[in-house]
């Protein structure tokens, strides 16, 4: 029941920092936007702690192959929105289909150009076949036009519209853009030379094919050079085989394909076509191995379905090619029609941003094993704190008297890149340990512990300090305390919370009132007020403004900050006096982000104070007025200011005092 301090989007491969972007829309309609923070991360800071549904939309531009990927998801604070899972661009939209059509035109025209160059060369052998010409200039012109349409569409998609600056950034921001510009340059040069009657344009067409491969999926594989070479050979050999068939369909002789001259051309073309077909099939198989995670992808993924359809279409050509090879009944125009279907399927495959193999690789991507050890494992003693604007998690393993390994997780608001630049020191009772880094956000050291030691984590040149007072070792299991407090707190009918939220030079203070089953009011130190009753939200920015009513998802009361995820590694860090207050600490990972809690629990199981430490979200809460029988009513939506929602007899909130127990958060 607490909003994250920052929404972090991590990506499995490098992104274009300038063009990749994300935005978060809060429950009250505020839009928070951010560009790429690093080559693999976008972060959107969230200020405030509004209840309701947050929507996240993101767009990334790959820095390795230039493809654009989009996604969206929602999450709720105090509510349970439908469809919280992530949606990405695995399915092709209308713009992708339009680009695929333009790409099919470019592919087909380039293949035809290669085929025409081949057939012209074959016709030049003695005896010369003077009737063999074909529309080479037309093919190159159509290919260039298709290429311009594809590159323009990709550039506008990456830039988010017709933005000259964004388009220039996309085309000049790295290898993907350079490959696209070179492709257009080679296509234009080949067209100009063909129009001038220069016969040897083959090298330029092959260069355009290579640049086309460098702008596709092959560029994202590692190492990229062999993959691009395989893709380029696949396209060139397809040009000799499939493009040759397209050329034959375009230059049919006056006597038909059973005339002696036509049979001479077929005889010359057949051995080249057989070799080219074999090479196309071999390189196509290599591509399939690279792009499919398993043969089941042919049935279980859209990409695989399109690839399977392409294979079926190629298979349908084999009987026709056999007839042409035996020169029994050549049908080049029918073969050409099937080739156009194959080309369209290839263009559709190129429109997918992530083939199944790369998608599976992305989903399987995990942090390095040692870096992951900085986060708690089952059975660990883990405590949370803060130093400056960094959340600091301290995990003691095995958490028993004797030699222990101390694992420190330190993450500032500005992210991993900033964390990696900050020095980390670990002290036990003022004595420096020999600490070493185990990742951008991880440091570790060893020490002999007995319990009761003071541990300090110092960050950066300013030596921001997170201090921890260890409990007795081993710390008692806190599961029973957590179960007791959960029962007591979730039986409440109404209660209030006085909350301070940081990190900030001026922390946000909020006074909440909750009434079951679905009523909430809160007043911000900045002057804003909100009331939620059922499915209606009333809000205003200042006490003198009119109330604005709008629909919302109903909240569930009671609900608490620690209800966001499964509670892990609960430990009693101060047992206190029998029947008195005790302190329990535990860890959660809602939405995959680490969060530490420290709760002061009284003898009845009621939480009196709570501290929550997460990245960009340092929250201190004081709970009071349990079952005080107050009422939250709708405000008057009129020009006149309504009376305050909190009953006049309500006690004024006292300042939140720091938790006095061991393991307190400094």
CA distance 465 to 462: 9
> In angstroms, what CA-CA distances link 333 with 177, 252, 330, 338?
37, 9, 9, 9
Q: Spell out where 541-606 has E strands.
A: 548-551, 568-574, 582-588, 595-601
pLDDT tens for 551-600 read 998 999 999 999 988 999 999 999 888 888 999 999 998 877 899 999 99
pLDDT tens for 318-375 read 776 665 555 546 666 778 888 889 888 888 888 888 788 777 666 555 444 556 778 8
Q: How much is the pLDDT for 643?
A: 39
Q: Is the pLDDT of residue 73 over 90?
A: no
Question: Other CB atoms closer than 10 Å to residue 234's CB: what's the count?
Answer: 23
pLDDT tens for 406-452 read 999 999 988 887 888 899 999 999 999 999 988 889 999 999 999 99
Q: Does pTM top 0.85 for this prediction?
A: no
CA distance 457 to 463: 9
pLDDT band at residue 80 under the 50/70/90 scheme: low
Using DSSP, state whether 363 is helix, strand or coil: helix
Cβ-proximal residues to 241 (8 Å cutoff; 6+ apart), any chain:
273, 276, 277, 280
Question: Other CB atoms closer than 10 Å to residue 281's CB: what's the count?
Answer: 16
Q: How much is the pLDDT for 89?
A: 52
Residue 519: beta bridge partners?
515, 533
Strand bridging mode 87-88 / 607-614: unpaired
Domains and CATH numbers, the chain: 6-88 (2.60.40.1220), 94-352 (1.20.1630), 369-469 (2.60.40.10), 479-624 (2.50.20.20)
pLDDT tens for 224-245 read 899 999 999 999 999 998 888 8
pLDDT tens for 95-122 read 888 989 999 999 999 999 999 999 888 8
> Residue 58 has which token pair?
């993101």
What are the backbone angles phi and psi of residue 312, rounded to the nearest 5°? Answer: -65, -40
CA distance 586 to 615: 16
> Residue 515 has which token pair?
């009434």
Q: Is the pLDDT of residue 503 over 60?
A: yes
CA distance 468 to 406: 12
Strand order in the sheet with 442-449: 381-387, 390-397, 402-412, 442-449, 436-439
pLDDT tens for 20-72 read 999 999 888 889 988 887 777 888 888 777 888 888 999 989 888 888 888 88
pLDDT tens for 366-411 read 444 556 778 898 889 999 999 999 999 999 999 999 999 999 999 9
User: Contact 623/609 with Cβ under 8 angstroms?
Assistant: yes
pLDDT band at residue 650 under the 50/70/90 scheme: very low
């Amino acid at each position: 029941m607490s909003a994250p301090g920052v929404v972090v989007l991590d990506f499995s491969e490098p992104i274009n920092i300038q063009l990749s972007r994300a935005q978060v829309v809060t429950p009250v309609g505020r839009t928070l936007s951010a560009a790429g923070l690093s080559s693999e991360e976008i972060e959107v800071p969230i200020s405030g702690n509004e209840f309701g549904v947050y929507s996240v939309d993101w767009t990334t531009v790959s820095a390795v192959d230039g493809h654009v990927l989009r996604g969206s998801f929602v999450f709720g604070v105090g509510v349970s929105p439908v469809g919280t899972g992530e949606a990405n661009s695995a399915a092709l939209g209308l713009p992708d289909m339009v680009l695929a059509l333009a790409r099919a035109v470019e592919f087909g025209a380039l293949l035809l150009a290669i085929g025409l160059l081949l057939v012209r060369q074959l016709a030049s052998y003695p005896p010369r076949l003077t009737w063999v010409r074909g529309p080479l200039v037309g093919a190159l012109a159509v290919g260039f036009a298709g290429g311009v349409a594809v590159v323009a569409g990709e550039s506008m998609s990456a830039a988010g519209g017709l933005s000259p600056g964004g388009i220039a950034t996309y085309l000049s921001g790295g290898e993907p853009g350079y490959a696209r510009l070179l492709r257009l340059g080679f296509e234009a040069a080949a067209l100009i030379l063909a129009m001038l009657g220069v016969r040897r344009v083959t090298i330029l067409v092959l260069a355009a094919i290579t640049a086309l491969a460098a702008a596709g999926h092959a560029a994202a594989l590692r190492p990229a050079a062999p993959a691009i070479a395989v893709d380029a050979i696949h396209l060139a050999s397809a040009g000799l085989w499939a493009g040759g068939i397209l050329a034959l369909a375009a230059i049919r002789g006056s006597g038909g394909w059973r005339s002696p001259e036509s049979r001479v051309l077929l005889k010359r073309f057949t051995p080249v076509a057989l070799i080219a077909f074999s090479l196309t099939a071999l390189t196509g198989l290599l591509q399939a191995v690279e792009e499919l995670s398993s043969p089941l992808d042919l049935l279980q993924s859209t990409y695989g379905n399109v690839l399977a359809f392409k294979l079926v279409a190629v298979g349908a050509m084999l009987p026709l090619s056999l007839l042409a090879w035996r020169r029994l009944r050549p049908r080049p125009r029918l073969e050409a029609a099937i080739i156009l279907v194959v080309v369209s399927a290839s263009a559709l495959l190129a429109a997918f941003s992530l083939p199944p193999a790369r998608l599976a690789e992305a989903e399987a991507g995990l942090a390095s094993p040692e870096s992951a050890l900085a986060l708690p494992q089952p059975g660990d003693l883990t405590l949370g704190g803060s130093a400056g604007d960094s959340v600091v998690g301290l995990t003691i393993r095995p958490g028993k008297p004797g030699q222990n390994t101390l694992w420190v997780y330190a993450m500032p608001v500005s992210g991993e890149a900033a964390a990696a630049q900050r020095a980390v020191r670990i002290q036990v009772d003022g004595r420096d340990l020999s600490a070493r880094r185990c990742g951008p956000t991880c440091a570790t050291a060893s020490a002999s512990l007995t319990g009761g030691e003071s541990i300090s984590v110092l960050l950066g040149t300013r030596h921001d300090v997170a201090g921890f007072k260890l409990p007795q070792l081993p710390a008692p299991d806190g599961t029973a305390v957590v179960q007791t407090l959960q029962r007591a707190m979730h039986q409440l009918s109404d209660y209030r919370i006085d909350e301070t939220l940081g990190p900030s030079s001026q922390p946000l203070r909020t006074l909440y009132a909750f009434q079951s089953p679905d009523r909430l009011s809160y007043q911000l130190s900045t002057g804003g007020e909100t009331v939620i009753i059922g499915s209606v939200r009333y809000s205003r920015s200042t006490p003198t403004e009119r109330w604005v009513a709008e629909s919302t998802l109903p909240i569930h009361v009671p609900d608490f900050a620690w209800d966001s995820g499964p509670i892990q590694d609960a430990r009693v860090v101060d047992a206190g006096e029998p029947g008195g207050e005790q302190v329990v600490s535990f860890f959660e990972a809602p939405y995959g982000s680490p969060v530490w809690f420290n709760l002061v629990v009284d003898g009845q199981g009621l939480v009196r104070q709570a501290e929550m430490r997460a990245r960009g979200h340092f929250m201190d809460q004081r709970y009071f007025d349990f079952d005080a029988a107050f009422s939250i009513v709708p405000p008057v939506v009129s020009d006149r200011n309504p009376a305050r929602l909190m009953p006049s007899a309500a006690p004024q909130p006292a300042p939140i005092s720091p938790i006095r127990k061991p393991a307190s958060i400094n």
